């Protein structure tokens, strides 16, 4: 009976629109042909998926059969079996790695990744390189043109032309001062197109400059030569901040030595016997030793996060930075996000969060800035910076009248699918966002001197989006909570 009723409802739902809207039915036929193609595409995808799953199952089946036989033999005479070193070795290998690999295969979702997977063509890379070029951004011109060329070299069929790419690429490389590489690329271009006018001209020019440089080198004294060699060695050792920043953002952080890692712990923390946390201490983890960065886990609930986000959303606006020249707030390409400020007076949730920060840091929050909520979309980032004001910008926080930013508290209010780490390029630390956690570090030494190792950045979000909120604590009010020292760097 119930079954019939369901069918009746479905049938009615399907039929009524047709009978009431006869004309719509006919005029929409043209558009409906598109739907046939859509459905055909769906069938193709579905078949691909089935194929992938079947081949996966096939692999698993083969493995199971092989091991079925093997374990049969092995269990009949375990000692005899293992007496052969190759059998023993292979057993260890299976248990060490192969079973693990099989597990990953079993757990692998064959449809996973397809959702997000899409590739840039050589043509796309070329277009992006050209955009960078028109902005005189030769660093990115080089990266994009290199990628376009690589894809063509790998055999991608494309309308992008190697000669054009090499033309842009060699120029971008020349602009960045790598004459030898620019020459090599120009040579490559000329092999493809010996009559290329600009390339021929450039080649002559490069050769002329090279010869002049050689001449200058010859006449310089030995000691100068020595000095030059030394600076070259130094140059190689020294990774510019930009490269460190990008490496850390890619997750290629310099790993800490095990000896150093051993000094990092996790613990339950009661806020130094704070009455609110004695019975319910919080989880605290050392993220880094110098500067000391700690992470609090499960420190803000999903409900609190929702409230904070809802309060902030209507007020989000493009984030600003202090212009070091004028001291005024402006927007900047190196800080791409939207943010809003929330006061403790407007919501008990914000007030509760402020109190939590005070309890767990032991620092007075009454002199802190309001809670800042920030949202980074895809591409959103904040390039390396200090949170504190340097000696040459004494007026940065003047209007607050509470001194410099002594410490930073940063809540992660979302997970990020890819990208979005907070990285410290000076020391090689990266902190990955994890919803519900918060990190804390001091920007100033107890003497009031700025700690330059706290230079940090918010990496570009690659997939998804990132919500954080921060509290910048200031010097005033901490006189007895974090007393000054006499020596500067203590």
Site of interaction with ligand OGA (CB under 6 A): 374, 382, 387, 410, 422, 456, 458, 468, 470
Residue closer to ligand OGA (CB basis): 122 or 458: 458
Nearer to ligand OGA, 83 or 251 (CB): 251
Least separation in angstroms between residue 274's CB and ligand OGA is 26
**Of Fe ion, ligand OGA, none, which one sits near residue 287, judging by CB under 5 to 8 A according to partner kind?**
none
Q: 144 touches which of Fe ion, ligand OGA, none (CB within 5 to 8 A by kind)?
A: none
Q: Are 353 and 305 in contact (CB under 8 A)?
A: no
Binding partner of residue 375 among ligand OGA, Fe ion, none, CB under 5 to 8 Å per kind? none
Tokens of 290: 């110098």
Q: Please, are residues 328 and 322 in contact by the beta-carbon 8 Å criterion?
A: yes
Q: Which does 440 bind (CB under 5 to 8 A by kind): Fe ion, ligand OGA, none?
A: none
Query: What residue 444 binds from Fe ion, ligand OGA, none (CB within 5 to 8 A, per partner kind)?
Result: none
- Cα–Cα distance measured from residue 311 to residue 295, given in angstroms and rounded to the nearest whole number: 25
Least distance from ligand OGA to the Cβ atom of residue 462, Å: 14
Contact between residue 411 and residue 300 where contact means Cβ atoms under 8 Å apart: yes
Q: Decide if residue 451 touches Fe ion (CB under 5 A).
A: no
First to last CA, the chain: 82
Residue 458 binds what, of ligand OGA, Fe ion, none (CB under 5 to 8 Å, by partner type)?
Answer: ligand OGA
- Residues in binding contact with Fe ion, number by CB under 5 A: 1
Beta carbon of residue 119, minimum distance to Fe ion (angstroms, whole number): 34
Q: How far is the CB of 460 from Fe ion (least distance, A)?
A: 15
Q: 351 near 363, Cβ under 8 Å?
A: no
Which strands, in side-by-side order, build the sheet including 381-385?
335-336, 381-385, 456-458, 422-424, 429-431
In whole angstroms, how large is the CA radius of gyration of the chain?
31
Instruction: Single out the residue of 270, 287, 364, 387 in contact with Fe ion (rule: CB under 5 A).
Output: 387
410 forms beta bridges with 439, 470
Residue 195 CB-half CA count within 13 A: 0
Q: Which is nearer to ligand OGA, 185 or 410 (CB)?
A: 410
In angstroms, what CA-CA distances link 434 with 255, 292, 415, 438?
20, 19, 5, 8
The distance of closest approach from Cβ of residue 413 to ligand OGA in the complex, given in angstroms and rounded to an integer, is: 10
The CA distance from 242 to 383, in Å, is: 9
The contact set with Fe ion (CB under 5 A) reads 387
């Amino acid at each position: 009976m119930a079954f019939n009723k369901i069918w009746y409802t479905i049938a009615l739902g399907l039929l009524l629109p047709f009978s009431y809207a006869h004309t719509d039915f006919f005029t929409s036929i043209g558009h409906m042909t598109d739907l046939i193609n859509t459905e055909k595409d769906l069938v193709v995808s579905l078949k691909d998926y089935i194929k992938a799953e079947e081949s996966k199952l096939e692999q698993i089946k083969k493995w199971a059969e092989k091991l079925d036989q093997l374990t049969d033999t092995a269990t009949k005479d375990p000692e005899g079996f293992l007496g052969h070193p190759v059998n023993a070795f292979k057993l260890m290998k299976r248990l060490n790695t192969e079973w693990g690999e099989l597990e990953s295969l079993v757990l692998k979702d064959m449809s996973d990744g397809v959702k997000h997977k899409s590739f840039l063509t050589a043509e796309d890379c070329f277009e992006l390189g050209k955009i960078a070029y028109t902005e005189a951004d030769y660093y990115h011109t080089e990266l994009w043109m290199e990628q376009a060329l690589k894809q063509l070299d790998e055999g991608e069929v494309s309308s992008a032309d190697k000669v054009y790419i090499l033309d842009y690429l060699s120029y971008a490389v020349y602009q960045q001062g790598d004459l030898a590489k620019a020459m090599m690329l120009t040579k490559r271009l000329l092999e493809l197109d010996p009559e290329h006018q600009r390339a021929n001209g450039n080649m002559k020019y490069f050769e002329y400059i090279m010869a002049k440089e050689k001449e200058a080198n010859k006449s310089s004294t030995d000691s100068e030569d020595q000095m030059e060699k030394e600076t070259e060695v130094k140059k190689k050792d020294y990774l510019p901040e930009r490269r460190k920043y990008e490496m850390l953002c890619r997750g290629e952080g310099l790993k800490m030595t095990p000896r150093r890692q051993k000094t990092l712990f996790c613990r339950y923390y009661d806020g130094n016997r704070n009455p609110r946390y004695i019975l319910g201490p919080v989880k605290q983890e050392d993220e880094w030793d110098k500067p000391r960065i700690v992470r609090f886990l499960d420190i803000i609930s999903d409900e609190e996060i929702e409230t904070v986000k809802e309060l902030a959303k209507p007020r989000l606006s493009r984030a600003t930075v202090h212009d070091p020249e004028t001291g005024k707030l402006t927007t900047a390409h190196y800080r791409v996000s939207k943010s809003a400020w929330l006061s403790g007076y407007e919501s008990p949730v914000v007030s509760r969060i402020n109190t939590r920060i005070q309890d767990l840091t032991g620092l007075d929050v009454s002199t802190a800035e309001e809670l800042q909520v920030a949202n980074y979309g895809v591409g959103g980032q904040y390039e390396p910076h200090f949170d504190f004001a340097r000696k040459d910008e004494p007026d940065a926080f003047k209007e607050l009248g509470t001194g410099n930013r002594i410490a930073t508290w940063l809540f992660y209010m979302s997970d990020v699918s890819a990208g979005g780490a907070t990285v410290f390029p000076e020391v090689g630390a990266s902190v990955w966002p994890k919803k519900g956690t918060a990190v804390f570090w001091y920007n100033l030494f107890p003497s009031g001197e700025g700690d330059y190792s706290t230079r940090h950045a918010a990496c570009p979000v690659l997939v998804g989006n990132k919500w954080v909120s921060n509290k910048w604590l200031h010097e005033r009010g901490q006189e007895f909570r974090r007393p000054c020292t006499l020596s500067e760097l203590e």
